[in-house]
Chains A and B, each alone.
Chain A
Amino acid sequence: GAGVSQSPSNKVTEKGKDVELRCDPISGHTALYWYRQSLGQGLEFLIYFQGNSAPDKSGLPSDRFSAERTGGSVSTLTIQRTQQEDSAVYLCASSFASGIQETQYFGPGTRLLVL
């Protein structure tokens, strides 16, 4: 079946512009995660959605970052007034439910470059 998809695959933007990154999770998966991977760094947890519950936003690095998940499916990560340090690969993952027994399936990522 289809895996997690993300779009765009690459995004180049100018400092100060807003960007939107999209994630389509696997159908039926209720849990959705966003991560950021900066060059040479591990994955940094950003935000977590589980069903209709309020999202865990504790990993968002600043108030310029926000995310929403419409209808419990597609999610959009928005970065306002982008800065050069926002350049990274943004990864989305989904799982059937929250819990260690549930494997996270990762998308291919969106590579963001802020000039």
Chain B
Amino acid sequence: GDSVTQMEGPVTLSEEAFLTINCTYTATGYPSLFWYVQYPGEGLQLLLKATKADDKGSNKGFEATYRKETTSFHLEKGSVQVSDSAVYFCALSDRNFNKFYFGSGTKLNVKP
């Protein structure tokens, strides 16, 4: 069945460091891919998405490219800030868009 695997955390970085959080997926057909973020004390919110191969989603300085050949959707940011400290979830949806499959989340801690 469809599934998402993302790197385990926590990930601890210094401010202005480069961030990569790996995400790979298994799916039948052509899913859509998402990154959600959960800031401390807040609900999950969509960070970015990509709906087809080679699409790049971007938001708030974060980027992720839908790589069909490697079944990956790695999240990157060139220079992280303390305010980026949160838990990041990779997710995919089936083509019926009724079901979403989430990874286990990666906690990011950014130190000043």
Contacts and interface: CB of A to CB of B under 8 A. Distances in A.
Contacts of B105: 42
A14 B76 CA distance: 44
Q: Chain A: interface residue count, which band?
A: 20 to 34
A103 B46 contact: yes
A8 to B, nearest CB: 15
Contact of A100 (B4, B43, B45, B93): B93
B70 to A, nearest CB: 21
Contact of B97 (A45, A98, A107): A98
Given A42-B4, A45-B99, A48-B99, A106 B104 contact: no
Given A100-B32, A100-B49, A45 B101 contact: yes
B49 A107 contact: no
Interface of B: 4, 32, 36, 42-46, 49, 51, 89, 91, 93, 97-105
25 contacts: A35-B102, A42-B4, A42-B89, A42-B101, A42-B104, A42-B105, A43-B44, A43-B89, A43-B100, A45-B100, A45-B101, A48-B98, A59-B99, A91-B43, A93-B44, A98-B98, A99-B97, A100-B51, A100-B93, A100-B97, A103-B46, A105-B45, A106-B43, A106-B44, A108-B43
